[in-house]
Chains A and B, each alone.
Chain A
Amino acid sequence: MPRDIVRKKITKNAYRITSKRAETCLRVRVPGGHLDACLLDVVRSIAERFGDGTVHLTTRQGFEIPGIPWERMAEVNKAVRPLLEALEVPLGVTFVDLDGGYPGAGTRNISACIGNRVCPFANYDTTALAGRIEAAVFPHDFHVKIAVTGCPNDCIKAHMQDFGIIGQAMVEQDASRCIGCEACAKNCLKRVTGAISMKNNRAVRDPRRCIGCGECVLVCPTGAWSRDPRKYFRMVILGRTGKKNPRMAATFLEWADEEVVLTVLRNCYAFIDAHIDRSLPKEHLGYIVDRAGWPAFREAVLQGVSLDPPLRVAETLEFSGYFYERDRVFR
């Protein structure tokens, strides 16, 4: 074991401190959580050659390869190259040294539900968007968690992230195809927000209640409802787990296009840089905003964003979380 390890340097290289002093563990990113199956062989080979032969599947859809002796990091970094070339370079991520391993690990893997490559409910290709977000934010040392999900079912738990991106379908109706069967209205009432009502035997959507899930398109037997092929997203922000004040993310933007999403994500780093409490090893964005104030955050991340309709920006954030006020709960 080397005598002197620069902790911050190895962390930035995607290795972590483990409970075994002689060993480290490598974090492998899989942006969007979808990869060519042959890459599993690369992961497997790293685990078997350098690690303890096991692999952990992370909640963020990456791999952690444990049991790597500290002294083998340089070899491992070379072995990681095929992963970088297959999973990062095609997205547009640039590397100073492709044999140097991961250049950052603060901003975590961009996780994604399976998206419309498989799931009928998804309103877009989540893996592809995760890739474009990866290109926009990776590598970065600030600890930011981003996840993208295809629809408000939120299978990826975007609500537990600093930034959660939820696909929205801007549905349009060809009224001449509506036969008044009420399939959409009944479904919306039972499963969603009850945004569709019947007027003169035709389905009418209340845009204020519609969350863009796209289910009306799925259930309409005549194709009267369809999606505007342009993609829109709802962004929920500042959700978190943790030891202080876990909470669900709150809706910040609705009907944002991809450019808005990417701009807000890019902008958040300057805000963090300006306001983070550097006495902590890593302060989560939500706590920074709690301290620095929501208006300051909003102003910072919306810089350069054109606020034209249909984009809607929340005036306030509605969080639902709790503090560990244990005495109140346990008497």
Chain B
Amino acid sequence: MRPMPGNAAERGYALSEVSCDALLREFRKDFRIFAPVRLEGRGRFSDTDMVRYGEIRNFREMELREKSLFSPKEVLFPPSETLFHFAETGVREPSLLREDGKGLLVLLRACDIAGVDRLDAIFLGNGPEKDPYYEARRKRVVFALIECGPLGASRSGSFGSCFCVSMGTNRASGYALVLRPEDDGLSLFLEDPAFAAYLPPDAVRTSYAPSFPLEDPFPVRVPDPGDMSRAVREESLFSAAFWKDYDSRCIACGRCNTVCPTCSCFTTYDVTYEENASAGERRRVWAGCHVDRFTDMAGGHRFREKYGARMRFKTMHKIHDFHLRFGRHMCVGCGRCDDACPEYISFAACIDRVSRVVDAAASTGGDDHDAR
């Protein structure tokens, strides 16, 4: 038996690719492991890859050097899930709610851990009821942090859109271990010493300790929610001219919603199976405030028909409304919305625009001189 690791300096390990596979084998006895995976040729454009979350069995399947296009939220809150099965004899809940399965080990970055915290706020905390489907998965989740490094990850490629430092989500807590991809294998840090039990015998002790991003490629000025509330009351924020830009720039495709680690909205509907009309299911799917029909009521009334109004609604939710309810921003600065927007709309830039309006309102006592 290896002695239990003590202080931080003694919790770093180096694992070769082979020993990573041994580690994953051990993990898989207790966990299903979810990590970013590279799906070759499955990207939006031909001959491009898709990086998104998938269940993995070995080291080679993980893609730890790229930001996944879709966030890990789909591990907890899948794009489409069955709430109830309907059969002639009655209603049945999916087995998810009945069975205690294996743990779910999720490899994710600091911003994404913050993202899960935001999902927790909605699914477990908003109102007296908890969402049992979310909770059934959430209570089984263990986080493994993918290290971004002081500037390594945050400077290149898809990390150019990151603004976690601005959002204060560059550091995380509540993870059991930290991983850093190396040329041959991983550096590993055991935050939770209990996980030493999974280490293969050939794991080498090192001085590795994780580090976190210290600076964003493009720092974003995040307005104070209180100042925003004031600008709303003084009618300078909602009337700001820049929202109208998005009327024509946004195409309401919803990609910013689907890639967002914190967008939690869903729509529920029933289906009847074609083969057996007396059977069917109640299903819920991701919904997005940018997408048509999100606010449609049965009588035909709808709200926020203009895309600029949808952009404003989302922006307010991400950096103001949620904060009023839960005391922290919903947006975690992962930058995925900026990566995904086919019209190159930057949400980070939108936050900056809000800041300018809020600042102007503060300095002029409420008059909106230069909304842009």
Contact = CB atoms under 8 A, between A and B. Distances in A.
Direct A/B contact, Cβ within 8 angstroms: yes
Interface of A: 116, 120, 122-125, 150, 167, 169, 175-181, 183, 199-201, 214, 217-219, 221-224, 226-229
B41 interface: yes
A229 B39 CA distance: 10
A176 B78 contact: yes
Q: State the main secondary structure of chain B at its contact with A.
A: loop
B46 A179 contact: no
Contacts, number: 82
A116 B285 contact: no
A116 B286 contact: no
Contact of A224 (B79, B253, B272, B287): B79
30 contacts: A120-B44, A120-B45, A175-B80, A177-B80, A178-B79, A178-B80, A178-B285, A179-B79, A179-B267, A179-B285, A179-B286, A180-B285, A181-B254, A181-B291, A183-B253, A200-B271, A200-B274, A214-B46, A221-B253, A221-B255, A222-B70, A222-B79, A223-B42, A226-B39, A226-B42, A226-B43, A226-B50, A227-B42, A228-B41, A229-B41
Given A176-B78, A221-B253, A223-B70, A201 B45 contact: no
B125 to A, nearest CB: 24
A256 B111 CA distance: 45
B283 interface: yes
A116 B46 contact: yes
Contacts of A120: 44-45
B341 to A, nearest CB: 11
A199 B275 CA distance: 13
A223 to B, nearest CB: 6
A53 B257 CA distance: 56
Contacts of B267: 179-180
B258 interface: yes
Given A200-B271, A201-B269, A221-B253, A176 B42 contact: no
Contacts of A226: 39, 41-43, 50
Interface in B1-58: 39-47, 50, 52
Contact of A221 (B40, B272, B274, B288): B288
Nearest to B266: A179
A219 B255 CA distance: 9
A217 B254 contact: no
B45 A222 contact: no
A215 to B, nearest CB: 11
Given A201-B283, A222-B258, A223-B50, A116 B79 contact: no
Interface-central residue, A125, A183, A221, by most chain B CB under 10 Å: A221
Contacts of B43: 226
A228 B78 CA distance: 23
B141 interface: no
Interface of B: 39-47, 50, 52, 69-70, 78-80, 253-255, 257-258, 267, 269, 271-272, 274, 283, 285-288, 291
B338 to A, nearest CB: 15
A227 B41 contact: yes
Contacts of A177: 79-80
Contacts of B288: 181, 221
B73 to A, nearest CB: 12
Closest 10 CB pairs of A and B: A229-B41, A179-B285, A200-B271, A226-B42, A221-B254, A221-B258, A221-B255, A177-B79, A116-B46, A123-B46
Contact of A116 (B42, B45, B257): B45
B62 to A, nearest CB: 18
Contacts of A201: 269, 271, 283, 285
Given A201-B283, A221-B257, A125 B47 contact: yes
Contact of A124 (B40, B47, B78): B47
Nearest to B259: A221
B52, B70, B285, most chain A CB atoms within 10 A: B285
A230 to B, nearest CB: 9
Nearest to A115: B46
Contacts of B255: 221
B260 to A, nearest CB: 11
A183 B80 contact: no
